[in-house]
Amino acid sequence: MKNDDAIYMLGADGKLERVPLGAYSSELVLQKLIEDYPELLSGEQIDPDDPPRWLLVKREAGIPDADQSTDRWSADHLLLDQNARPTIVEVKRSSDTRIRREVIGQMLDYAANATVYWPADRIRALASETCGGADKLDEKIRLLIGSENTDDPLTDVENYWRRVDNNLRNGELRLLFVADELPRELKRVIEFLNEHMPRIEVLGVEVRQFSGQSMRALVPRVIGQTERARQDKVSAPAHKVSLSSFVETCPEWCRSFFEDLFEDAGKEGFRVVPGTKGFSVRAMGNTGKPVSLLWGFAPGSYGRTAPAIDINLSYLSPFENADVITQTVTKIAPFKLGGTSVLTMLLDTGNLKSGRDALKYIWQIGRKIQAAP
């Protein structure tokens, strides 16, 4: 870790503050941050077309090594995403010597045994305990997958847990090594594993901490997403939908909504980027890096019976307070908070006008992003 690394923050008063890179006081501090703010795992860097939204199942999740045995290991965090994919997180500080060698074998032990001795009903029980009961967990699952307004939300939840079980049995996992700084040797091992393990996604996430007199910044960066690994994760090249084919998959009553959305985004200078399940709208930030304003999904995505709009607050919060966005958007249109930081609205014939009005507010934030110095 370079002691002279820093970021510079320009305040509203025009003063420039140098915010130096700092170490975490303990590993527990970083673990607690991931527990409270799993969006620090930077889903958009993991998959820009379909960013993972996180549900914390358990911190310190025990893993046995045989049927009916006591737990032998304890993963720092176990999470699920909207695609029912289990994600195991191991957190280390760069100053911990185990980060160079032992953590690799440790994580592979977790994965090998979790796929055999972690039935979905055990994960469900752990998540229920974390969420404060089965009813609250079911509500979080419905919000996570965007099915709170469907005709049969109970079936949607049960189908989700069947997918969790199938993913476990098929070894469809995600392993995340998290640290303030990952050593070069570990980065190369992560890239190698991610390239040669087609079913398991292996990534590193550096969460660097910059601390100044008046503020604290946390800057995540995902390691291991090589182009070769992206291609090897699928049996066939991922097919991205065209915007015209996306519109055709939507009911006729909402096609003009999306056609107008694409046209208005273009007029604002935003990019509409097709994905494998829908599209994203991106504004270009002052660093040259695009910021995703929203995602659109056709019916059938993640069990949703209607087209949907998602807004990830963690990507917009550097430019507008997340609470302000939530209060404003939910007052305009029937968006609901899903996961930890995603606002979701399922379209119907009665909310198209309010949905258009909500987009006007999001375009305002996009203009602010593009105008930032």
Closest CA to 360 of 268, 298, 273, 278: 268
As a whole number of angstroms, the distance between CA 346 and CA 302 comes to 12
At 187 the pLDDT is 92
Residues 333/358, Cβ–Cβ less than 8 Å: yes
End-to-end CA separation in angstroms for the chain:
29
For residues 81 and 189, give the distance between their C-alpha atoms in angstroms, rounded to a whole number.
25
**Are 176 and 207 in contact, with CB atoms under 8 Å apart?**
no
Q: What is the pLDDT of residue 118?
A: 85
323's CB contacts (< 8 A; 6+ apart) are none
pLDDT on residue 236: 42
Do 320 and 125 form a contact (C-beta atoms < 8 A)?
A: no
| pLDDT in the model for residue 14 | 83
Amino acid residing at 125: A
E strand or H helix at 222: strand 216-223
**The pLDDT value given to residue 216:** 85
Residue type at position 349: T
Tally of residues, the chain: 373
Contacts from 229-238 at CB under 8 Å and sequence distance 24+?
Answer: 229/191, 229/194, 229/195, 232/195, 232/196, 232/198, 233/198, 233/201, 238/276
Q: What is the pLDDT of residue 237?
A: 46
DSSP secondary structure string for all residues of 333-349 = S--EEETTTEEEEE--T
Task: Please report the pLDDT score of residue 6 as a whole number.
Answer: 87
pLDDT of residue 335: 93
- In the chain, which residues have pLDDT < 50? 149, 235-237
The pTM is what?
0.68
| Residue whose tokens read 């993913």 | 167
CA contacts within 13 A on the Cβ side of 92: 21
